[in-house]
């Protein structure tokens, strides 16, 4: 918990300890320097992500979870997936996203000014994400369900501690909703999700 509250002392200690450091408590190796991190991220032959991008090895039965189809996948499968995503995320699509995000941001700022006093997390950060992303990504994002699933996914990358257990319990009522909302018949028309399904149809 202390590292989450103030990560900078740990990050500094990690850099000072050496180019590669064994975190005995979690049984994993860590790199805290830019040079080594760049090597690890670029060398898919020696370093993989299909075991998970967190500290849990999702290949193990007790730690298994559904992997991210974009992040937790290795070449050559990753190459095909990345090509499909790159094809969909064209400069034109990104430009439309930018314009739409800017409009929603301006509308939100006007609303916040009228409120005069607001919670920066709930009324600004959360509100913008939950308003701007659904139409672009193609998934309806109710606040409570989305935050619970997001917290679960985040903590699945960390150790199985109290935070992990609490997040898993909090997300449990919404797992069926999460599974349904990313199905083809549930995504919004004209969205990135729909375009990716169409690319999948073409192989």
Model pLDDT, residue 70:
85
Name residues of the chain where pLDDT drops below 50: none
Rounded to two decimals, the pTM is 0.80
Long-range contacts of 145-150 (CB under 8 A, 24+ apart): 145/174, 145/177, 145/178, 148/173, 148/174, 149/174, 149/175, 149/178
3-class state of residue 99 by DSSP: helix
What are the helix and strand counts (H, E) for the chain? 10, 2
What's the CA angle centered on 65, arms 174 and 52, to 5 degrees? Answer: 130
Model pLDDT, residue 117:
94
* Interval 131-169: pLDDT, tens: 888 888 898 889 999 999 999 999 999 999 999 999 999
Q: Which residue, 78, 73, 65, is CA-closest to 158?
A: 65
What are residue 104's DSSP bridge partners?
A: none
Model pLDDT, residue 199:
87
């Amino acid at each position: 918990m202390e590292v989450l509250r103030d990560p900078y002392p740990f990050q500094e200690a990690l850099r000072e300890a050496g180019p590669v450091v064994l975190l005995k408590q979690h049984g994993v190796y860590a790199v805290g320097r830019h040079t080594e991190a760049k090597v690890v991220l670029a060398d898919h032959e020696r370093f993989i992500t299909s075991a998970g991008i967190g500290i849990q090895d999702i290949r193990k039965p007790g730690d298994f979870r559904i992997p991210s189809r974009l992040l937790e996948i290795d070449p050559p499968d990753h190459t095909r997936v990345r090509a499909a995503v790159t094809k969909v995320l064209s400069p034109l699509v990104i430009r439309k996203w930018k314009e739409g995000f800017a409009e929603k941001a301006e509308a939100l700022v006007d609303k916040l000014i009228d409120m005069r006093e607001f919670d920066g997390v709930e009324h600004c950060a959360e509100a913008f994400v939950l308003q701007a992303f659904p139409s672009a990504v193609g998934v309806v994002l109710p606040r409570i369900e989305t935050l619970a699933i997001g917290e679960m996914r985040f903590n699945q990358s960390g150790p199985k501690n109290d935070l992990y257990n609490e997040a898993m319990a909090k997300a449990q009522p919404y797992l069926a909703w999460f599974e349904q909302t990313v199905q083809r018949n549930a995504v919004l028309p004209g969205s990135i999700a729909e375009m990716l399904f169409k690319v999948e149809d073409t192989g």
